[in-house]
Amino acid sequence: MDGILLGLETALQPTNILICLLGVTLGTAVGVLPGIGPTATVALLLPITFEFDPVASLIMLAGIYYGAQYGGSTTAILLNLPGESSSVVTALDGHQMARQGRAGPALATAALGSFFAGTVGTIVLALFAPPLAQLALKFGPADYFAIVVLGLIASIALASGSAVKALAMIVLGLLLGTIGQDQFTGVPRFTFGVRELYGGLDFVSLAVGLFGLAEIIRNLETKNSSSIVTKKVEGLWLSKDDFRRIRNPVLRGTALGSVLGVLPGGGHVLASFTSYSVEKNLSKEPKKFGTGVIEGVAAPESANNAAAQTSFIPLLSLGLPAHPVMALLVGAFIIQGITPGPNVINDEPELVWGLIASMWVGNLLLVALNLPLIGIWVKMLSVPYEVMFPAIIAFASIGCYSLGLNSWDVFAIAAAGVVGYFLIRWGCEAAPLLLGFVLGPLLEENLRRAMIISRGDPTVFLTRPISASLLILAALIIIIAVLPSVRRKREVVFQGEDD
Amino acid sequence: MSTDHTVVDGAGHRPAPFRPDLYAGAAFVVLGLAFAIGGSRYDVGSALRMGSGYVPLALGGLLVVLGLLVVAMGFRGGDPSIRDVQREPIPWRRGGLLVAAIMFFGFFVSGLGLGPTLFVTTFIAAMAGHGTSPLKAALTAAGITALCLVVFVALLQLRLPLLGDWLGG
């Protein structure tokens, strides 16, 4: 618990509170824009955070992430336009509530549920990340290789589309990650003599292209015609009856989310879908779900936020990002000169605990800030898309260019956006590609190290107990993911409302 | 691999292959080949001392195999997760304008400076909107440029010159 105290001391410094506040506000402001999910928001705002020192910049990023999630829920409830798959479920009942003039209680439920879940998630994170990091210090290169493989494979099982395509996207991401100088021999690979590519493809450009530009092109396929159901949001306070009804869903959602959030590859999506089905099954009136019941907002929002918090566990203890936003954070760590992994928690306690504590502060700020300011966010929703997307293009270009004053980073946005648009159109999700890209260098480094240590004997991965069990687990996941019966069940979970 | 969709009406009456799967698979095969061939030009080495080309060659090969699997899926009824989704026509002109806008920024920002480049970039991008007239695009571009200059130059103090070398800035 010393860690928590250190963290609170860091997070509660006035400048850091201010930076967290700035992050939360910016995150909400961008996240609330329709069609921009948390991943795109974090990618777009990432360059701004590099203006600060490491601790402050990561605190700001965490703030942006929570703000973006909350902004996404607001859009889902008011516009029925979920920015990312995790808020799809919130939209089911949340939007119906808004149509019935109960947008206020829906938004308040989302905020309070998220705050409670975030608090619990933070405690879980503080309890489990340090021992896991201690354990990870004993890992050899072979074990590390196995855990990266497991992380990548698990992200397939949780992706909503075809497993083969997700696997191909991971491999493509891994390959894109090999562009640049080989870390062992210094040989420049796939750089075609372009010096600017020696450092590798810029991952901010890749993320902005895949999640920003590709999404804009997709939105331009059809004429955008969405209208807000309520111009004014009134009656934010919950009645006693509302409180009684959301209590148990919030508790169950938090528990589910805390556990599922640790899973690599999108545990938060699974958490919100599962908690919704659980509430529906436990409810005395399951038929009412989807018509605007408050439980249908409380449970997935809590699950989502608890999962968002606990998904930091693999990141802070193993250096493994659990989903694309975490992958962006890994990139941010690296740009700040910090190698994420089990050592970070010992080498940079102020940073890690400061980050953990500021997540809680960020959640608190969200409740304090978002509910009173809801009028402003609603105004942002009425900005027409025709004005918004050129602004996003401008922000993305300036952001990526300002990082290294390198025109190639700007060209990379265009390339990633076009390729991403077509791949997404053909049913390939972008998230596994980004995970592969971030984890590629780690995977290759540990593979080559392990092979040198074992003198070229590939059985090393199966004779070390840790790596063997992790690889077997990964193999099981692949088998399960492609088995027809399980696939069908998984589709039911992802369709949620049909069961 | 995903065998949950089987062709019901026998081999003789197979439906036409599912195009998106063919395209996606072909893209994976081409990219996989490119990385594998490129990788084989570097020092591949052995399993003991892997050279720079080892991992790209192996992963490129794997991507080719996965691409072929995706193609096979296209011949066996198609990817169930997108098969029944209605696809809108590809917005070639709008997408092209967006790409042109970003490329313009990359090419000219150092020469023209942030102010003029940003205006042209946002103007080209705005023209991609549905029913946006040149006048409306110019107004949008002017507004966004002003906003960006305030945020990035005045507030965040990025070291980007407002006017580039070509304009004597």
Going by pLDDT thresholds of 50, 70 and 90, the confidence category of residue A496 is very low
Q: Is A322 helix (H, G, I), strand (E, B) or coil?
A: coil
Nearest by CB to residue A220, choosing from B59, B128, B160, is B128
**Would you call A458 and B47 a contact, using CB atoms and an 8 Å cutoff?**
yes
Classify B99 in phi/psi space as left (phi over 0), alpha (psi -120 to 50) or beta.
Answer: alpha
Going by pLDDT thresholds of 50, 70 and 90, the confidence category of residue A229 is low
pLDDT digits (tens, 9 = 90+) for A79-95: 777 767 677 788 889 88
Q: What is the pLDDT of residue B1?
A: 43
Burial class (CB in 10 A: 0-12, 13-18, 19+), A205: buried
pLDDT digits (tens, 9 = 90+) for B93-149: 999 999 999 999 999 988 888 889 999 999 999 999 888 899 999 999 999 999 888
- Confidence check: pLDDT of A491 > 70: no
- Confidence check: pLDDT of A485 > 60: no
Nearest by CB to residue A427, choosing from B50, B79, B110, is B79
Is A287 within 8 Å of chain B by CB? no
**Would you call A220 and B89 a contact, using CB atoms and an 8 Å cutoff?**
no
Name the closest residue on chain B to residue A166, using Cα atoms. Answer: B66
- Confidence check: pLDDT of A100 > 50: yes
Name residue B167's amino acid. Answer: L
pLDDT digits (tens, 9 = 90+) for A296-323: 999 999 998 898 888 888 888 888 887 7
- Domain regions of chain A by residue span: 2-138+145-495
Nearest by CB to residue B70, choosing from A168, A187, A487, is A168
Q: Assess contact for B98 and A217: CB atoms under 8 A.
A: yes
Q: What is the mean pLDDT of chain A?
A: 83
Q: What is the pLDDT of residue B137?
A: 93
What whole-number distance in Å separates Cα of residue B13 and Cα of residue A277?
Answer: 39
Q: Assess contact for B2 and A482: CB atoms under 8 A.
A: yes
Q: What is the pLDDT of residue B8?
A: 46
Preferred mutation among B44, B87, B105 to probe A, highest tally of A CBs within 10 A: B105
Over residues A440-458, mean pLDDT: 86
Going by pLDDT thresholds of 50, 70 and 90, the confidence category of residue A493 is low
Name residue A469's amino acid. Answer: S
- Confidence check: pLDDT of B2 > 50: no
Going by pLDDT thresholds of 50, 70 and 90, the confidence category of residue A484 is low
Q: What is the pLDDT of residue B119?
A: 94
- Confidence check: pLDDT of A369 > 80: no
Q: Assess contact for A223 and B130: CB atoms under 8 A.
A: yes
A189 membership: H or E segment, kind and range: strand A188-189
pLDDT digits (tens, 9 = 90+) for A34-57: 767 788 888 888 877 877 888 888
Over residues A128-142, mean pLDDT: 84
Assigned token pair, B167: 């304009």
Over residues B5-11, mean pLDDT: 46
Least confident window among A423-432, A452-461, B3-12: B3-12
Which residues from chain B sit within 8 angstroms of residue A447, using beta carbons? 50, 55
Q: What is the pLDDT of residue B5?
A: 46
Name residue B129's amino acid. Answer: G
Three-state secondary structure readout of B36-90: HHHHHHCCCECCCCECCCHHHHHHHHHHHHHHHHHHHHHHCCCCHHHHCCCCCCC
Assigned token pair, A140: 């050899």
Q: Write the DSSP symbol of residue A320.
A: -
Number of Cβ within a 10 Å radius of residue A302: 35
Is A403 within 8 Å of chain B by CB? no
The residues with which A188 forms a beta bridge, in sequence order, are: A181
Q: Assess contact for A189 and A444: CB atoms under 8 A.
A: no
Q: What is the pLDDT of residue B155?
A: 72
Nearest-CA distance B136 → chain A (Å)? 9
What whole-number distance in Å separates Cα of residue A349 and Cα of residue A343?
Answer: 10
What whole-number distance in Å separates Cα of residue A448 and Cα of residue A440?
Answer: 12
Over residues A92-103, mean pLDDT: 87
Of A3, A2, A68, the C-alpha closest to A35 is A68
- Confidence check: pLDDT of B153 > 90: no
pLDDT digits (tens, 9 = 90+) for A241-260: 888 898 999 999 999 999 88
Assigned token pair, A249: 């869903």
Q: Write the DSSP symbol of residue A238.
A: P
Q: What is the pLDDT of residue B169?
A: 55
To the nearest 10°, report the CA torsion of A480, A483, A488, A491: 50
Name the closest residue on chain B to residue A440, using Cα atoms. Answer: B55
Listed ranges A279-283, A403-407, A417-421; the one with the highest mean pLDDT? A417-421
